[in-house]
Structure 1
C-alpha cells in the first residue's frame, strides 16, 4: 500500500432593489424577541453578562445569555447538559462570514468536507454526518440536493450548535449535531445599515438592513434585508451570483399575544464542477494547479428557495406560554454538469443534468411554564410537531459515459424520475426539576411516527411507528461559577434494508453519553466547557450470514455498531471588556465495533475526517487614543485524514497530512456612522486539500482549500 501526501446565467440584483424600495417605505415583515412582551431595542451595549439575552446583534459579544435549541427550555450554556456553541452576529461580521461553510469551518467540533466537489458540501460532528438543520427551532432536512443550499447569513442573528444526539428536538437523524439558524428580528428604534465589500477574485457584495417600528405606539415592527453578491473564484471559469430578499414583521396583538410573519427568497447561481479533481490511477495526488477546473463553461447550479414562516406566542398570567410556529419552503434547482467516473480514465467524464423540486413544511406547537411541587418551582414543556418533505427529481443524461473535457453542451434527454414523500409526526415532553438549589435534573421523551413513501415504487416504502426518544441530564452547581453535568441523549434514523423475513430493519439508534464541567464568568460574558463523550450507533445494517430464503436481492441484519469517543474543550465570550475569544479543541475517535465486512472491525470509521480539530478566533478593541481600532485573527488546525482505496490494480492510501491556516482582521470605526474592515485569509498561502473523496460514483478525488485572499468591507449605519 502506498501513501501519497499533497504538497451561465447571471442573477439580476432585482431582489436587492426591491429591498431598498421597501426599506424606504418601512414596509417590512418579523418575529418574537427574548421577551416577546417588550420589543427589542439595539443600542450601544457594554460587554457584561447581565446585558446578554438570546439576541446577539449589537452586543459585540462572542457568546449568548440563553439558548433553547437543545431542549426548548430557555437555558444558559452552563445550564445545558450538552456541548453547545453559538456563532454570534459580531463573530460573523468580524470574520466576514458569508456562507454556512464559513460557520462550520469556524465552529469547534464541526468539520466541512467538499469531497463531492466545490459545489456540494457535507458537514460532520463526532464522526457522523450532520443531516438536521433548524430555522428558528423548526427542523429542516439537510440531505440529497438540499445540501447544495447555502442559506445567506445576512438574515441571521446567530447560529446555535448542539453537538451529539438531538432527537428530542429534531426527531430522526444522525447522532452528530443540530445547527439552528436564528433569524434577525425587528427593532423599535429605527436603524439602517448599508454594507459594501470587495475581495480577491472580483468578489463584490452589497447589503442593506433596515428596521423600525411601523406605527407610533411601536406595536407593529418590521425589518427588511437585501443582499447581492457577484464573485469569481480561484478556480478557472468559476463564477457565482447570490441574491437575498428577507422581510419580517412582528405585531403585538394584545399585551399578551405577539404574532410574527416573514418571507425570504434566495437565488443562487454557480458555475462549478462535480466530484473534485482527479487523482492518478495508481492513487497518487496529481498536484494540479489550484486554479484547475475540469468542468466546462456550461456546467452550473441554479437554485431558488422561497420560504414563508410565522409564529404566534401567547403569555398567560400564571407564567405559562403557548407557541404555535410553522414554515413552508420550496427549492427549485437545476444542476447541469459532468463528473469523473471511478471506472473511467483520469480525464474522461460523464455528463449529467437534474431538475429538483423540493418542498418542506414544518409545524410545531408547544406550551411551557412553571409547575410548583414539593415546595419548589419546576419547568415543563409539552408539544407536538409535524414535518413533511416532498422531493421530486427529474434526471437527464446524454448516455455518454466517456464525455470529453471541455466538450460542447450535450443534448440532454430525460431518462428517469424519483418522487418521495417523507412525513414525521411527533409529541414530546420535557421537564426541568429543581431538586435542590445546586441540583437540577432535565428529563425528556418524544414519540415519533415516521413514514417514507416512494411514489415511483412501493418496494421502497418503509415506516417507523411510535419510536421513543429519551433525554436525561443532571446538572450540579459546584460553586457560583462552575457546574458538573452528565447526560444521555439519543436519536433514531430509519433504514430501508430488509431482513430474511422481508421486514424492514429496526431504525439505527445513536446513543450519546456525555459528562463534563462548565464555567460561567463575568456574569455570563464568558463561557467555558470541557466534555467527555461516547456515542454508540447501533442497529446498522450488516449483510445476513446466510441469504437462503431471502425475498429480495440482499438481506441484512440490524447488527452493526460504530462507536465514537472523544473530548470537547471550548471557550467563548469576553476575557476582558475589549477582548473577545471563541474557539476550542476536539478529539474524536470513531471506529467500527461490528460491520458487514469483518475486516473493518476495530478499524477507523470516517477516516476522511480528522480526529483532532483546533479552532481559535479572537478580536481586541483598543482603548484610549486607539479606541477606534480593533484587530483580530483566526487559527484553524486539523490532524491528518485519509482514504484507503482498493482497486483491481492494487490498493493505496490517499492522504492529507495535518495542516494549519491563519487569518487576520483589522477594523477602524471612522465615526459613529462609518466602519471599515480588512480581512486576510490563509495569510501564509498554505496549499492543502480540504477534502479527499472516495465516491462509488466518481471514485477518489481531491478538493483544494482556498488560497490566500483579501477582503475590504465598508459599513455605513444611520
Structure 2
C-alpha cells in the first residue's frame, strides 16, 4: 500500500512451480513489503526524455498529465545526447521558447510573445543577472542540473512576479547514496575544448552523509573572428540525514564567464544607397580589449522534514551574487558601397554587482474532507535584492571612418576612467504568502485553486533621479480544473493572474516602470502513453496585460539604454503541441510546435522581431541486436520569418529574416560498459541565417556547420 507521498511499496510472492515433482508439497512464501524513498521527478540515470512528476507549476507533485499548464522538461539524457551545455542551448531547443541574440553575449528569451523574466533554482525564484539582455542565464553551464523545467504561461503563484511568458526552473543534481563518478572530454570546431568531472560519494559508511562535486572548463575560439569564449564552473553539495525523516543540505555553485573579443550588437546592415550589406558569418568588429565578464555565485541551505502522515515541511535559504564588467565597441552608420567607408565606432563600459537573499518555507501534504483525499501546499517567501551599476554611456570612440569591407582600422581601447560614469542603485524587497489546494471532486475530476498575496517595494536612484514604489496586498489568483477522460487522456482549463514589476525597464528619466498586470486563460488536452513514459499535450491560450513595457523609438535612458513606457491592452493568443518521452524501448523523441499572435493596445503587431511559429524535433534510437552499442539521432529546428519594421523601435530601415530550418545529427558508440564515444553535428547543411536583423540597423549571424566529439566515462 502507498504509505506516504514520495514513498513506494512493492509486494512479491514466490510463484508456485506447477512443473515440480508431484510428491513435493507446494509452499507459498509470505508476501514481502519493501518501502523506501524515491523521487519520481529525477531524470538522471533514467535515459528518459520525460519525467515522472513535476512541482514546477504549483509545488504540488503531479504528473505532466495532471498539471493544468503547458510544461516542457529537458532531461539530463537529452542534454547529454544533444550536448546542450549551456542554458541558452537548452532554451533554444525548447518548444515555445524563442531566443533573440543581439551579439556574442546578450541573448534574451521569449515565450508567447513576452520576455521570460522568471528564473528559479530548485523552485525558488531569483533574479540572475539581467534578464532583458540575457547576460545572467544564457551562458550558465548545465552540467550541474538534473533537468530544466519550463512552465509556459503565468507563474505568479510561486514566483510572485513575472511576465505571462514562461518560468524556467533549473533543478540541481543531488548526491547519491552510493559512489558514482563520470567525466567527459570534448573537442570540436574552432579549437573548442571542454572538460567535465562529476563525483558523488557517501561520506559515512551508512550513506547518511553524502556529497557531490561537479566541475567544468571550456575554452577555444569561435566562428567569429577574434572571439574567444571561456567558462569555468564549480558546484558542490553536502546532504546529511539527521534522522530517517530529516535531511539538511548545504551547497554552493560558482560560474565564471570571461570571453575575449566580445561583440556589442551587430554589423551595419545598410549601405548609403539603401542596399543591404552581405557579410561572411565570421566577420566581427570585436577588439582584443573587448570583453563582457560575468561571475555568478550561489550559496544555499535547505532543511526538510517528512512526517509520518505524508506531510513535508521544507525551509530554504538562497543567496545569489553577480558581478559584471564590460568594455565594448560597435559600429554604426551607412557606409558607401564602393569605398566601404562611412561606419564609425561607438564604445561603452559598464560595471555592476548584485546580491539577493531569499528565504522560503513551505508545507505540503494530503488531507481528508468529505470522505475524499485532497492535497494542500502553503508557504511564504521573502527576498531582498540590492544592485548597483556604473555605466559609461555610448559615445563616439573615434572619428576615423571604418572600412566595412575590411573592418579596419581597429579601435584602440578608450580611456574609460576619464569619462563620467552614470550610477544606478536599486533595492527591491518582495514577500508573499502562497497556497494551493488540489481537491478531488470526484475520481476523474480535480480542482486546483490557490493564489498568492504579494508585498513589493522598490527604491531606485538612477543618476540622482529617485523613485520609491510600494505595493501591499497584491493578490494573484490561480485556478485549474483537470478531468481524467480515461487512464490515458485528461482535459484541463486554467486561469493565472499576472503581477510583474518591471525593474529591468526604465523610462527616459532612468526610473523603472511600474508593474504590469493581467491574466492568462488556457485550455488543453494531455495524454500519458506507455505507463507515462511518453507524454503528449496540446494547449490553447489567451493572455491580456496592461502597463506592459513597450520600447519608445529613438528614446534612451541617461545611461544610454533603450527607454520604455507602459502600454495597456496588450494581447497574445496561440496554440502549442508537445511530445516528449519514449516511443519504444531505446527510442526517445522530443517534438513540439508553437504558434502565437500578439498585438499591442493599438492593434499593432507586438515584437515583430520574434517568429510567430516555431517547431522542434529531436529523436535518438539505440540499434537492436548486434548493433546495440550504437545510438543514432537527428533533429530539426524550424522557425517562421521575423522582421524589424522600418521606423519602428530601434530600426530606421528595418530588416527581415525569412523562415529557415536547422538540422542536427548525432551518433554515440559504447566502446565498453563504461566508455562512450560520441559525435554531434549542428547546422548540418550549413544554413546561413540571421539571429537578428534590423536592430539599430545592424545584423548578427548564427553559427555555420560545427561539430563536437566527446569521450564519456562513468563509474
TM-score band, normalised by shorter chain: 0.7 to 0.9
- CA separation of 1:80/1:352 partners in 2, compared to 1, >3 Å: closer, same or farther? same
Quick one: structure 1 residues 247 and 651, their matched pair in 2 at CA, closer, same or farther if it must change by over 3 Å?
A: closer
Q: Counterpart of 1:348?
A: 344
Aligned counterpart for 1:55 among listed residues 26, 38, 42: 42
The residue correspondences of 1:650-665 to structure 2 (distance < 5 A) are 652-665=653-666
1:516 aligns with 2:524: yes
**Alpha-carbon contact 1:52-1:64 (below 8 Å) kept:** no
Q: What residue in structure 1 maps to residue 390 of structure 2?
A: 394
**Distance in 1 between residues matched to 2:250 and 2:169, nearest whole Å:** 19
Which residue number corresponds to residue 411 of structure 2?
407
Give the Cα–Cα distance (whole angstroms) in 1 for the partners of residues 286 and 542 of structure 2: 42
Match of 2:259 in 1: 270
Gaps of at least 5 residues in structure 2 are: 10-37, 336-340, 401-408, 552-563
Structure 1 unaligned regions, length at least 5: 1-33, 39-50, 544-555, 595-600
The Cα shift of 1:346 comes to 5.7
Which residue number in structure 2 is paired with residue 93 of structure 1?
A: 80
Asked if 1:491 is matched to 2:487, the reply is: no
- Match of residue 227 from structure 2: 238
Structure 1 position 370 matched with structure 2 position 361: no
Paired residue for 2:95, among 90, 108, 125? 108
* C-alpha contact (below 8 Å) 1:52/1:59 kept by paired residues: no
Residues 279 and 346 of structure 1, relative CA distance in 2, 3 Å threshold: farther
> 1:353-376 CA deviation, whole Å, 9 max, x = no partner?
111111122221111111110100
Check 1:229–1:559 CA distance in 2 against 1; reply closer, same or farther (3 A cut).
closer
Q: CA deviation at 1:494?
A: 3.2
TM-score (norm 2): 0.86
- How many angstroms apart in 1 are the aligned matches of 2:285 and 2:567? 42
Q: Displacement, 1:701?
A: 1.9
How big is the alpha-carbon RMSD for the aligned residues of Structure 1 and Structure 2?
2.7
Q: Which residue of 2 aligns with 1:435?
A: 441
SS at match of 1:360: strand
The higher radius of gyration belongs to 2
| Shift in Å, 1:540 | 4.0
Residue 448, structure 1, aligned to residue 454, structure 2: yes
- 1:206-217 superposed matches below 5 A: 206-217=195-206
Q: Deviations over 1:564-605 (max 9, x none)?
A: 11100010000001110012000111112x2xxxxxx22211
2:325 corresponds in structure 1 to: 334
1:316 and 2:320 correspond: no
1:468 is aligned to 475
- What is the alpha-carbon distance in structure 1 between the residues aligned to residue 440 and residue 489 of structure 2? 17
Moved more, 70-79 or 314-323: 314-323
Distance change in 2, residues 1:633/1:377 (3 Å): same
CA displacement, residues 147-188 of structure 1 (integer Å, 9 cap, x when unaligned): 213221111110000001111111111110000000001011
Deviation at 1:628, TM superposition (A): 0.4
CA contact (8 A) 1:350 1:403 kept: no
Shift of 1:36: 9.0
Per the alignment, residue 177 of structure 2 pairs with: 188
Moved more, 264-273 or 427-436: 264-273
CA gap 1:450/1:458 in 2 versus in 1, 3 angstroms? farther
Counterpart among 574, 580, 588 of residue 580 in structure 1 = 588
Higher relative contact order (CA 8 A, sep 6+): 1
Quote how far apart the aligned CAs of 1:402 are: 4.3
Residue of structure 2 equivalent to 1:714: 711
Report the 3-state secondary structure (helix = DSSP H, G, I; strand = E; otherwise coil) of the residue aligned with 2:78: helix
1:477/1:37 CA distance change after superposition, 3 Å: closer
Counterpart check, 1:606 vs 2:607:
yes
Q: 1:102, CA displacement in angstroms? A: 0.6
In 2, Cα distance between the equivalents of 1:484 and 1:52? 26
Q: What is the rounded CA distance, in whole Å, between the counterparts of 1:305 and 1:204 in structure 2?
A: 22
* CA–CA distance in structure 2, aligned partners of residues 681 and 189 of structure 1: 36
- Cα deviation digits, residues 485-512 of structure 1 (max 9, x gap): 000012112358999xxx9997311311
Mapping of residues 72-83 of structure 1, within 5 Å = 72-83=59-70
Q: 1:403 to 1:225 in 2, by over 3 A?
A: farther
Counterpart CA distance in 1 for 2:318 and 2:565 is 38
CA offsets, 1:381-416, max 9 Å, x none?
A: 111001222111122469545465521111112422
State the Cα distance separating 1:652 from its structure 2 match. Answer: 3.7
Q: Is 1:67–2:63 an aligned residue pair?
A: no
In 2 relative to 1, CA 225–409 (structure 1 residues): closer, same or farther, beyond 3 Å? same
Using the alignment, how far apart are the partners of 2:114 and 2:373 within structure 1? 38
Aligned-residue offset at 1:317: 2.0
Tell me by how many angstroms 1:295 deviates.
1.9
What is the CA–CA distance in structure 1 between the aligned matches of 2:627 and 2:287, rounded to whole Å? Answer: 50
In 2, the alpha carbon distance for the partners of 1:220 and 1:133 equals: 30
Supply the distance in 2 between the matched residues of 1:463 and 1:342 (Cα, whole angstroms).
Answer: 43
- SS of 1:168's equivalent in the other structure is helix
Superposition deviation, residue 331 in structure 1? 1.1
Most deviating of 333-342 and 203-212: 333-342
Does the 8 Å CA contact 1:354/1:395 hold for their aligned counterparts? yes
SS class of match (1:494): strand
Q: Match for residue 669 of structure 2? A: 668
Residue 646 of structure 1 deviates from its aligned partner by: 1.7
* SS of 2:380 mapped into structure 1: strand
> What is the CA-CA distance between 1:343 and the residue it aligns to?
9.9
